[in-house]
Amino acid sequence: MPKEPKNKRFFLIKPIYAKWIIGLWSLFLVILSPSTEGATQAWVPEKNVELVVGLAPGSFQDHTARMIQKIFQDEKFIPATTSVVNRSGGGGLIAWSYLSQHARDPHFLLITSPTLLTSQIMGFSPLGYKDMTPVATLSGQYVGMAVNAHSSLKNAAQLMERLKKDESSISFASSSRGSNLHILIAMVGKSAGVNVKKLKIAIFQGGGELTTAALGDHVDVIATATSNILPHYQSGKLRLLGIAAPHRLSGALKDVPTWKEQGVDAIALNWSGICAPRSISPSALAAWESQFDRLQKNATWKSDLEKNFQEPHFLNSQQTLDSLKEEEKILRAALTDLGLAK
């Protein structure tokens, strides 16, 4: 018969004590374990959130950022302050480079537009949407072309005729190289049968500078978002030659013809979206998606869109990513056809 161990007190524990020890050990493990509630808690900003704009104050992107800031702060969307930071220059490249310096930090949000795609396609920027985290698409606005009210150009037909005679006789202006505004100018030039690479196109940092240039007769024709032109059109200081929309707009712009009506098959929707730096956490991305979904349902936001002839166009992160991939293909084909792709 085998002998019992000498120190059998260490091996033989009465069942009642065993249950008591197991219970204490389980409690100890629960105390040491991370809280399940804390692990799944939604991310919230812990410091100031920067809304980064690649154009100067007065631009369409700048207006979008300031509306977001106003609603976030006035209606307490987030428990942190927000600030609008204009990093203009390089057709948006300075802003994109600034965002790329803050990888993994969701406290930086960039206001985006189609220029994010076209600048890379045309070789102006090494950065693109794949270097960022698409968060949402918010709205879209059609692009118009306008001249000073005293200009000899009364309509699109006269502009086309002038271009056919001498493409260098007209000076155009856009807010950035490779933008939808730039593409619209190129499409108008192509419809006139001229070499679009020979068109005179000055680049300004946003719609505010563009309209100032037109009002001061520094350029002949500007292409910009309709909301930038609207107050000067209503005051009689600028004349709209056409809007690159599939149909006429309503309200104060109902009498302005589309480019398609005038023989130029051009539609240019200048959408606005949000990108965060690359490699932010899934919880931070989900939090921002939720906030911008909430924003697009907000009454103040919807009223501002209507006032500025913007169309609601909300897409979440995955939908935005899918849309960017598809639009990149379309824009590359269009820019290749225009001889502007690299």
Q: Indicate where the chain has its CATH 3.40.190.150 domain(s).
A: 49-140+270-337
The residue among 153, 140, 202 whose CA lies nearest residue 176 is 202
**What is residue 227's predicted lDDT score, i.e. its pLDDT?**
87
**What is residue 214's predicted lDDT score, i.e. its pLDDT?**
95
Give the predicted TM-score (pTM) of the model: 0.77
Phi, psi (degrees; rounded to nearest 5) at 113: -150, 180
CATH code for the part of the protein at 143-262? 3.40.190.10
Mean pLDDT, each 10-residue run in order, the chain (342 residues): 42 39 40 41 94 90 96 96 95 95 98 94 94 97 95 94 94 85 90 91 87 95 92 96 93 94 88 97 98 98 92 95 94 86 90
Q: What homologous superfamily is domain 49-140+270-337 in, according to CATH?
A: Bordetella uptake gene, domain 1 (3.40.190.150)
- In Å, how far are 25, 192, 303 from 262, measured between CA atoms? 81, 12, 31
Helix or strand or coil: residue 238? strand
**What is residue 24's predicted lDDT score, i.e. its pLDDT?**
39
**What is residue 179's predicted lDDT score, i.e. its pLDDT?**
79
**What is residue 270's predicted lDDT score, i.e. its pLDDT?**
87
**What is residue 333's predicted lDDT score, i.e. its pLDDT?**
86
